[in-house]
Amino acid sequence: MLYELIAVVRPGSLHEVKEIARMTGLQILYSGGVIRGITNWGPFRLPKPVTKHQTKYSTGHHFIMRFDSSSQVQNSVLRTLKLDPRMVRFSVVKLGDKLEEIKDVGGKVEWNNVNGVMGDMTGRNLAFPTGG
């Protein structure tokens, strides 16, 4: 089955993001899965502040990983990420399980932010610019 992991790591250290992506990827590979691709989206403001491990976060470093694996491996990845204190949020979405559904899905996930909906790191929402 093809899955997409959307992960948000606490901001501040690109090394932590790489380490989590590497650890997750190795867990998938050692369990017989295949990594189709990893995309670093970088730091973004979160839609609303999140409290994790007694710390409040308003931004996070986002990365996307597409991988093929069994549902047991996917559940194991979720359990591992849930225990990692560096994780702010994460979600795994099943993109398909039939060859016809997933054969043309690539590994790279492009971020299309033409309207600036996410805003910038200053806290301004670029989708609703103020007059000026």
CATH code for the domain of 70: 3.30.70.60
pTM for the model stands at 0.74
Please name the helix (run of DSSP H) or strand (run of DSSP E) that holds residue 76, with its range, or none: helix 71-83
Q: What pLDDT shows up at residue 102?
A: 56
117 belongs to a structural domain: no
More confident residue, 54 or 130: 54
Domain of residue 54, residue span: 2-98
Residue 103 located in a structural domain: no
Per-residue pLDDT tens digits for 95-126: 777 666 555 665 566 655 444 444 444 444 33
Task: Determine, yes or no, domain membership for 48.
Answer: yes
Work out how many domains the chain is built from and give that number: 1
Residue 2's pLDDT is 86
**b/e code 107-127 from CB counts within 10 Å (16+ = b):** eebeeeeeeeebbeeeeeeee
Q: What is the DSSP letter of 103?
A: T
Quick check: is 45 in a domain?
Answer: yes
Q: Is residue 34 part of a domain?
A: yes
Domain membership flag for residue 132 = no
In the prediction, which pLDDT does 16 show? 93
Residue 126 within any structural domain of the chain? no
pLDDT tens digits along 12-64? 889 999 999 999 999 999 999 999 889 888 898 999 999 988 889 999 999 99
